[in-house]
Amino acid sequence: MSNEIIAIHRFGSELTKHIFGWDLGRRCNYDCSYCPAHRHNNYSPHAMLDDLFDTYKKVSRYKDVLKNRSLIDDFVIGFTGGEPAANPIFWDFCNKAKEYDNDIQLGLTSNGTIPRRVYEKIGDYIDTMTVSYHCEADDKIKQNVQDAIFYIHSNTDTYINVNVMFHSDEEYFNECLELCRRLDKGNVSFVPRIIGEIESSGLDGKPIDKEFHSYSASQLERLDEYYVEMRKGKAPSKASVKVNPPKVDDKPIVAMAANKTRNEIGRPCCGKVFFNTLTEENFDNVVSVTPAFRSALEWNETQFLRTSKFKDWYCLVHLYLPHLQHETRMIYAHQTCQATTNRHRQGPLCTIETFDEYIDKIDAGNIPIMQCPNMQCNCGLCTPKSKYLPIVEEMVKEIFPMKKSMEGQQTRQRRQETKKIMRELRQDV
């Protein structure tokens, strides 16, 4: 028997969370040295308001189908880029989207360079916000970003989390440490982030890691201290499935050395999601994979994994972190992995133009299962997956048990009709 992890799942409220990533375009007002050229530029055309709104209506329909068909009930659109707020019509679009369907939470990943007149009333537009703090910016800009972070946290209803991008330059690294101290003192949520993304393939079949920073042993020790806390875990807020209570994984992490690879370092879930792992040892005693198998399994709860290698695993990342690239009009299972149902292949699930056909398949119960083509998992770490297909097939049955009751569908339909009437009334005024 082995303690090798062979499955990852979510329980309780985490099982119902869905984040639809929406990349509005490559345009960005920053030019960080570690951000690949294909991820940002200063010349891409801005998306137009009408086009964005038409796409939003399709996403709204997708949300309704998921809520009617599955356990997924917490639906968030996460706007990314480039810098989403660089588009001059972005805030008008958010306002229009909220008026059309306020049942969707709007999230924003931003570098934080937004005008004070906007962030003072950001609760009118955005429910959740992730600010990526970049040290390479101008000092005045960075001060404005910090001002925005603390103002939003203290004076608005918008939940804010800060990804502190730990630059390995000694001065920048200390700046990040100081910011983390301020955030901790002000009770602002934050995650220290190791800089770098690993490309999935190289000429020799090994991962390419061009943007990964080289940290000193003392720097890695500082990061390690935080990751130890991430591994302590906590009890789920509620149980939506019948399973044994997860055991909290509180084993200490071996101190990291400067020459360790990202996979050896491991990493926490960037969204601070508490997920659960299943080992081969805990699975060996289960005779068959049936809905009843869950009650016999022992899951370990954590926010941190030692490994990021899931090549050839079966995965449901598209049900929790799908990604729309507005500039290319492609919709993927995920922003970085871009896995498809074809083994060892990457590609889109559909396009904006064929999105309705994809939604129809989901509504009919035709739920695809991805198979990981990548050497490393850059994100999607916490989404349901397994080395074994039967386990993932049972996860699908659990997440999509049946169509919800007719009474529930009628209630939702009445709610949508009420929203439509209210929109028409506002337009008449």
Cα–Cα separations (whole angstroms), residue 398 to 180, 268, 401: 39, 26, 5
pLDDT tens-digit readout, 355-382: 999 999 999 999 999 999 888 887 888 8
Contact yes or no for 298/9 (Cβ under 8 A): no
Q: What is the pLDDT of residues 249-263, one digit of tens each?
A: 444 333 333 334 445
Write down the pLDDT at residue 401.
86
Poorest-pLDDT segment among 83-87, 345-349, 424-428: 424-428
Q: Quick one: pLDDT band at residue 417, thresholds 50, 70, 90?
A: low
Pairing of strands 275-279, 300-302: antiparallel
Structure-block tokens of residue 210: 């061009």
Contact 93, 50 (CB under 8 A): no
What is the predicted pLDDT for the residue at 212?
62
Query: Mapping DSSP to helix (H, G, I), strand (E, B) and coil, where does residue 17 land?
Result: strand
31 or 359, which is more confident? 359
Q: What does the pLDDT read at residue 406?
A: 42
Which of these ranges, 123-127, 263-267, 410-414, has the smallest mean pLDDT? Answer: 410-414
Distance of CA 83 to the CA centre of its chain: 17
Per-residue pLDDT tens over the stretch 131-162: 999 999 999 999 999 999 999 999 999 999 99
| pTM over 0.85, yes/no | no
